[in-house]
Amino acid sequence: MRTWLVVVGAAIAVIGGGLFASLFFISGGPESTTRASFDNPNIPAHKSWPELIERSTTISATIGLTWSTNIPANVSLTPAGLCANSSLGVCPIGPPLFAWTGNTSGKASGSSGNATAFILLVQNPGTGTLDFAGTVSVAYTPGSPFPTWAWGVIALGGVVLLGMGGIALFLGLFLPGGVYREPAGSSPPLRPPPDSPEGDPPS
């Protein structure tokens, strides 16, 4: 057993495993949810009430709307973009994400895409005063701090280090120690007999 190889191999393997673990811990932050409540207790008959909902990020998220009224109403939530022809500073983009007609309450959720703003539109089609109360929630997971190619480099580095650490551990555990030392208890090497001194008779 080579103790130093075992120690080095274990250290390299731990570093490689740490690189893999980092892929899970820094790939994205925890889910974040924001909520905003909207109330208008005095929407006249046959009038509309638009409300701008802004987001601080373009990361795709899950957006939800829960609302209720005292009389039937038309309610919609529509993605919006910047424009100069609106008092809100934004205009609808595409069809509504959610829409209800003649309801007194509603609840729905769906993907927000990359829209940075939404228009909540409440219409009072009746003859009485409309009392509206609603809550919009946006839940998203922050994006990765690194581009895709960087994740590949981190993963490759982890594979290489794990492989090197595994090889070093194997060699350290199974390679005999003291290969170049003389085994204990071995007999000394044989030496040739000394030459006979001059003058000695041949045997």
Q: What is the pLDDT of residues 14-50, one digit of tens each?
A: 776 776 666 655 555 556 777 889 999 999 999 999 9
Dist. CA 165–CA 180, nearest whole Å = 25
Tell me which of 89 and 37 has the higher pLDDT: 37
Name the maximum alpha-carbon separation found in the chain. 147
Dist. CA 135–CA 91, nearest whole Å = 21
pLDDT tens for 56-68 read 666 678 899 999 9
**What's the token pair of residue 116?**
């940075």
Classify 103 as helix, strand or coil. strand
Q: Are strands 48-54 and 117-123 parallel, antiparallel or unpaired?
A: antiparallel
Domains of the chain, by residue range, sit at 3-26+145-174, 32-140
Residues 134-154, mean pLDDT to the nearest whole number: 68
pLDDT, the chain, mean: 77
For 32-140, CATH gives: 2.60.120.680
Q: How confident is the model at residue 147 (pLDDT cuts 50, 70, 90)?
A: low
Q: What is the model's pLDDT at position 159?
A: 73
**CB of 155 closer than 8 Å to CB of 18:** no
Q: Above 70 in pLDDT, residue 110?
A: yes
Q: What is the model's pLDDT at position 182?
A: 52
Q: How confident is the model at residue 124 (pLDDT cuts 50, 70, 90)?
A: very high
Tell me which of 152 and 113 has the higher pLDDT: 113
Q: What is the model's pLDDT at position 180?
A: 45
pLDDT tens for 152-199 read 666 677 677 777 767 866 676 776 655 545 555 555 555 666 665 555
Q: Above 90 in pLDDT, residue 99?
A: yes
Q: Which of 95, 38, 97 is nearest to 64 (CA)?
A: 97
Q: What is the model's pLDDT at position 160?
A: 75
